[in-house]
Amino acid sequence: MKSTLISRFALLYFFTIALWSCQEKEDTLPSVDPTSNEAANRWILDLMSEVYYWLDDLGTPIAETSDPEDYFEALLNRPTDRFSVIYPDYEELINSLSGISLEAGYEFILFKESNTSDNVIAEISYIKKNSPASSAGLRRGDVIQKINGTQMTVTNYRDILGQTDQQHTVSYIRFNEEANGFVAQPDLSLTPVQLSENPNFLDSIYMIGNQKIGYVVYHFFAPGTGEGSTVYDDEMDAIFANFKANDIDHLIVDFRYNSGGYVSSAVNLASLIAPGASQSAVFSKTKYNALVMQEVPELKNQQTAFKSKTQNLGNILTGSKVYILTSNRTASASELIINGLKPYMNVFLIGDKTTGKNVGSIPFEDEKNPQNKYGLLPIVSQSFNSLDQSDYSTGFTPNIALKESSERLRPLGDVNELLLRTAISEITGTPPSGRFQKLDRMDMGSTLDSKIRSGKMIESYDFK
């Protein structure tokens, strides 16, 4: 991402001034090899000394010759700052934020096979469209037991999972309804590809009794596939246009796997939901460090308005209410929407307590030194809603608490799937029929946790 794309970010004006100031400082220091740790660390310190949100609590720099990842870590205000990160490759960082990565196209959550076993299994959360995993026939709810013929255990699973970024074989089982149990399937060979994931995973309309319910599954916030693209935002607009044309009564938004992304897409989605959303209504407010707000006074009271969207559903939703499905991985831009909608409507949460991230980042590259490949995602801001509320650093507590892992996974969109059926039951007032087996297992981690976008709220406002 070069300077033409950087201009989309909110602090362009200030950061231009700041970086020129950094360059002046650098000119007073002895020159160093542009490929060296010293060069990267000087850039890191100069940048963080200008833009870091907790500037007053910036850590003491360690030796300039240190590994840049260690150097960056030493500057952070831990444990308050849980989210600032450094990446060895800026371009990989930007691609990942738009859903582009080298992978086979399946996400999963890890569990111990049983309380008495050290074996680890991976239950597939979802399969990405047009991916090798999709072509091979893997499904949500399939359980992977071995990778490349090796059983995963509590001691080796991290090493084994490291093999999935290249050609690999999975041994797995699938639930068989007739047998009422899991049945072994033939091994599958998967070869990762450079995959561009569409965050608009699923949308459906259900007629339950006399209630018409719209349901949308959204996996991360990204406007499109790259610089200037808004294809994903446009698709979301079309989904809501269809909901409106069908005159739905209720809306369910599924954020259970959505751990963040670009603020611009959060504004777009919120503008499709909130009643009375217009360019005169405040969606969010943003606070930066004192130095930023002093140098750029227009950022002292930074406010972001809703967009006026013809596809907006706010005025047709019964009780001015939206149902949002959550997990402990629901974070950042997802929480920004929850917080931003609360002053305007009833936001009803079903699922697990959310992550708790009310701060935002901006991706940075060293444009003056192309030999420095590092990318930074430091925390530079804190977000508030129109009522100046930002009290969710420990997460939003759901109205109905549920853990997806407490049942066998059913297909997303299946009305018997745990979170969706709970939302439908809440809407209709009719308890679900049927018996569902409860499971007692502990989540050990997920492929979603390693995503660059996980827990990230990427500022993408512009001065227009």
> Three-class SS of residue 174?
strand
Residues 6+ positions from 26 with CB-CB distance below 8 Å: 42, 46
pLDDT at 7: 31
pLDDT at 459: 62
CATH topology of domain 198-358+383-435: 2-enoyl-CoA Hydratase; Chain A, domain 1 (3.90.226)
Q: Judge whether 333 and 410 are in contact, CB under 8 Å.
A: no
Q: Judge whether 5 and 226 are in contact, CB under 8 Å.
A: no
Buried (b) or exposed (e) across 210-223, using 16+ Cβ within 10 A?
ebbbbbbbbbbbbb
Higher pLDDT, 279 or 169: 169
Host H or E run for residue 75 = helix 68-75
Supply the pTM of this predicted model: 0.89
pLDDT at 453: 52
> Three-class SS of residue 103?
strand
Q: Judge whether 346 and 321 are in contact, CB under 8 Å.
A: yes
pLDDT at 461: 36
Interval 371-422: pLDDT, tens? 999 999 999 999 999 999 999 999 999 999 999 999 999 999 999 999 999 9
298: pLDDT confidence band, cut at 50, 70 and 90? confident
Distance in angstroms (rounded) separating the CA atoms of residues 63 and 84 = 20
433: pLDDT confidence band, cut at 50, 70 and 90? confident
Taking residues 45-58, report their average pLDDT. 97
441: pLDDT confidence band, cut at 50, 70 and 90? confident
Q: Is the pLDDT of residue 460 over 80?
A: no
- Peptide bond before 79: cis, by omega within 30 degrees of 0? yes
Given this structure, which CATH class describes domain 101-195? Answer: mainly beta
Taking residues 367-374, report their average pLDDT. 96
Phi and psi (nearest 5°) for 298?
A: -65, -15
Phi and psi (nearest 5°) for 378?
A: -85, 155
Q: Is the pLDDT of residue 27 over 70?
A: no
Q: Judge whether 322 and 347 are in contact, CB under 8 Å.
A: yes
Mean pLDDT of the chain: 90
Q: Is the pLDDT of residue 176 over 80?
A: yes
pLDDT at 436: 86
Tokens of 261: 């992304």
pLDDT at 3: 29
Please list the residues that pair with 457 across neighbouring strands: 261
Q: Judge whether 38 and 71 are in contact, CB under 8 Å.
A: no
Based on the number of CB atoms within 10 Å of its own CB, is 153 exposed (0-12), middle (13-18) or buried (19 or more)?
Answer: middle
Residues 6+ positions from 414 with CB-CB distance below 8 Å: 420
Helices (H), 315-417: 333-341
Return the domain boundaries, the chain.
101-195, 198-358+383-435
4: pLDDT confidence band, cut at 50, 70 and 90? very low
DSSP symbol at 113: S
